Homo-oligomer: A and B are copies of this chain.
Amino acid sequence: MIRKTRLFTPGPTPLLPAAQFAMAAADMHHRTPEFRALFQKVLAQLKVFAGTKNDVLLLSCSGTGAMEASVSNLTSPGDRVLVLTAGKFGERWTALAKAFGCEADVVSAPYGETFDLDEVKKALKPEHRVVYMQATETSTAVRHDVEAIAKIVTATDALLVVDGITGLGTTHLDVDGWGIDVLIGGSQKAVMIPPGLAYLSVSERAWAAMEKSKNPRYYFDLRKERKNAAKGESAYTPAVALIAGLGAALDYIAGQAGGDLEKGRIALIDNAQVNAEATRAGLVALGFTLFAPTAPAAAATAVAVPEGMDSGAVVKALKAKFALVTANGQGEMQGKIFRVAHLGFFDYLDTVAFLGAMEHIAKDTLGLPVEYGQGVAAAQKVYAKAVNSAQ
């Protein structure tokens, strides 16, 4: 039987066909009026997609490059920063801060959980220049409470930098209202194109801080990018094809709401949240345990396999039987959890298909006592309720 490859990984996510075609067709030089028009259009769209009036810049690198830019442009060697970490991507902030000579204080939550707000409040000192966190921690599929943490941080002089790489397009973030100084996104996530681009919004406070920062940066020099962006250009040769794809994807997202990108963004977030909720309901109905039950992200769902079983076996079986690609746990979570994504170009019937496959795995591979249809039915109830309440 035919088995279509289906990416259910939290990045790369399924590609939008219109974006694939735009990428392939983008035989364009980057110092031409055509490119400047495209670039300015995409930068303006990204401001709407990030939901901010702040500058939004686009870098040719993966998300980690924009994370580095948020460290090298905002800190000097010896600066104290506060990192909030609850997984592999939080740990990346610590490693980055140390690589650039910062003293990193850390508030951590166990894998699968989010931060204790009192602990954050206590840990945040007047000496901290920047607070680094994730909107959603992709490695554990946990959503952090950015709004509550922003309230704590904006009461101080510290800047707030939020890795929204899987948070953007899956959770509501009010950059300007909450006071997020830098919000980072990546191309292979909710915006439906391959990896290779990162974008970030930068507040006036962050621009001011950059004037004092003494860490070296060149390829990721945000002030240079800003100057060039004002002319519709990038500082260095940009990933033209990916930018063309990104424009097509943002057009598609706007098109889902009659051409209104702001509404399209909200519809995309709702879509991820309903699919995530339906997935969780389906998996629980099949007897699986959610790894992050208290603060589940809509970007992805992390599923714990029963004691003594290997989550890698589920990942392998889904791939072998249905060409369905999920992600194993990372680091010490490998073998214990697997992750299935909802961010970007996923629809409800993808969720139905995934749960249908999971029923086969649960019953036929893992030998769990489940009936066919049991997980799908639970998801269908969530969907029916969401559709009815939206009407």
A interface residues, Cβ below 8 angstroms from B: 5, 7, 9, 11-12, 14-15, 20-21, 23-32, 60-65, 67-68, 71-72, 95-96, 99-101, 186, 188, 194-196, 215-221, 236-242, 325, 327
The smallest C-beta distance from A38 to any residue of chain B, in angstroms, reads 13
Complex Cα gap A67–B32 (Å): 24
Query: Which of B9, B14, B196, B218 contacts A196, CB < 8 Å?
Result: B196
Complex Cα gap A25–B24 (Å): 9
CB of B21 within 8 A of CB of A62, answer: no
CB of B218 within 8 A of CB of A95, answer: yes
Q: Given A29-B9, A215-B216, are A195 and B23 also a contact pair (CB < 8 Å)?
A: no
Complex Cα gap A196–B193 (Å): 14
Pick the 4 closest A-B CB pairs, nearest first. Answer: A196-B239, A194-B241, A20-B24, A62-B237
Query: Which of B100, B194, B240 contacts A195, CB < 8 Å?
Result: B240
CB of B60 within 8 A of CB of A236, answer: no
CB of A216 within 8 A of CB of B99, answer: yes
Q: Given A23-B24, A68-B219, A216-B99, are A240 and B194 also a contact pair (CB < 8 Å)?
A: yes
A241 and chain B: residue at smallest CB distance: B194
A95 and chain B: residue at smallest CB distance: B218
Query: Which of B7, B186, B196 contacts A27, CB < 8 Å?
Result: B7
CB of B195 within 8 A of CB of A237, answer: yes
A65 and chain B: residue at smallest CB distance: B219
The smallest C-beta distance from A238 to any residue of chain B, in angstroms, reads 6
CB of B218 within 8 A of CB of A100, answer: yes
